[in-house]
Amino acid sequence: MRTLILGGTGMLGSALVAELRRRCRPALGLSHHQSDITDRARLAYWCDAFRPQVVINCAAFTRVDECETREADAIEINGEAVGHVAAAAERAGARL
């Protein structure tokens, strides 16, 4: 099963990529720089290019102190962008 992992270079995402590859499963882990989840066009690009069957979102704004001072960014990344991920997965015919 082809798996696209957003936030694939973070602690959780990189562990998932490593485990899937260990099991000889095709997995692509993307960094924030490769695919910012707030960028709908980049999400669509990677879904079209990789054609995942499953999309796993490990991307998040996790620095709690910064989330409090950058509330709008936290809401966009941890809330609204998750909807973008779901829409991209649905268009690709992938499970989220």
CATH of the domain at 38: 3.40.50.720
Q: What is the pTM of this model?
A: 0.91
Cα radius of gyration (the chain): 13
More reliable by pLDDT, 53 or 66: 53
Contact in structure between 54 and 16 (CB atoms under 8 Å): no
Write the pLDDT tens digit of every residue in 55-87: 999 999 998 898 899 999 999 999 999 999 999
pLDDT value of position 71? 93
Domain hosting residue 75, numbered range: 3-92
Helix (H, G, I), strand (E, B) or coil at 54: strand
pLDDT in tens, 8-52: 999 999 999 999 999 999 999 999 999 899 999 999 999 999 999
